[in-house]
Amino acid sequence: MKRLLLSVFDNIIAPLVVILLTPAALGGMSYIKTGDWKTWFTKAPWWIWPALVFGGLIWLSVALIRKRKRDMEENSPSVFAVSVPKHGEQEIAELSHADVKWKIMMALPGLGQSVDPDNIPPDRISVATPPRCPDCGAKLEEEETFWAKFKWACVRCGFSIKNDQSYYSEKERAQLLAESHFEEEYDGPVRRGGWLS
C-alpha cells in the first residue's frame, strides 16, 4: 500500500501540483508587480493556456508510461530462475492459487537415494509454470495488457483472468503456499491429489 501511495504521489499528484502552481506563481508575481492578481493573466498571449494544459498532459502521459515500464520490469521473469532437477520431476499434487491451478512437482531422487512418497520434504517440491486452467486443465498463455497488468488465457476452453502480477511472480507465492502445506504434513502422510483451497 505504501508503494502504491508513493507511486501515485510521484506520478500523478506531484505533476498536478506543479501544473497548478504555475498559474498561482504567475498570479502572485502579477499581484506583487501591479497590485492586481489578473493583470499578467490578461496580458499573456492566448496560446499560453492551451500550451500549459498540453504540457501537463504530456507530463502525465510520460509519468504513466514510466510507471508501466517499471511494473513490467518488476514482473518479468529472471533468465536464471529456471532450474531442472538432475533426475527429473514427478507431479505429486495440485494447488489452487490466484484462481488458477498449479502443479506441484517433486524432484526425483538420484541413484542410491529414496524419498518416502507419503512423507515428502518441503525442499524437494517446486511449482510448475505455466499455471493450468481451472476449468479444463490446459496450460494458460500470458499476455501483457497496456496498463501493466497480465491476462492469462486458456486456448482450449476460452477461460481468461486478469492479474496484477506475471505468473512468474505468482509462482513464487504459490511455491511458498505449497511449501507451507508440505511443512505441516512433513512428519505425517501427505494428502496426494492436492489441496484445492
Q: Which residue's entry shows cell 501544473?
A: 19
Confirm if 180 and 123 have CB atoms less than 8 A apart: no
CA distance 62 to 174: 34
Phi and psi at residue 140, to the nearest 5°: -95, 145
Strand partners, 93: 104
Per-residue pLDDT for 169 more than 60?
yes
Beta bridge partners of 106: 90, 125
- Asked if 125 and 95 count as a contact pair (C-beta separation under 8 A), the reply is no
pLDDT tens, position by position, 102-139: 999 988 877 666 677 677 888 889 999 999 999 999 99
pLDDT at position 2 is 64
Q: Which residue has the higher pLDDT, 146 or 159?
A: 159
Distance CA 22, CA 28 (A): 10
CB-CB contact of 123 with 194 (8 Å): no
Q: Please, what is the average pLDDT of the chain?
A: 78
191 pLDDT band (50/70/90 cuts)? very low
> What confidence tier does 155 reach under pLDDT thresholds 50, 70, 90?
very high
Terminal C-alpha separation, the chain: 26
Cα–Cα dist 93/167, whole Å? 19
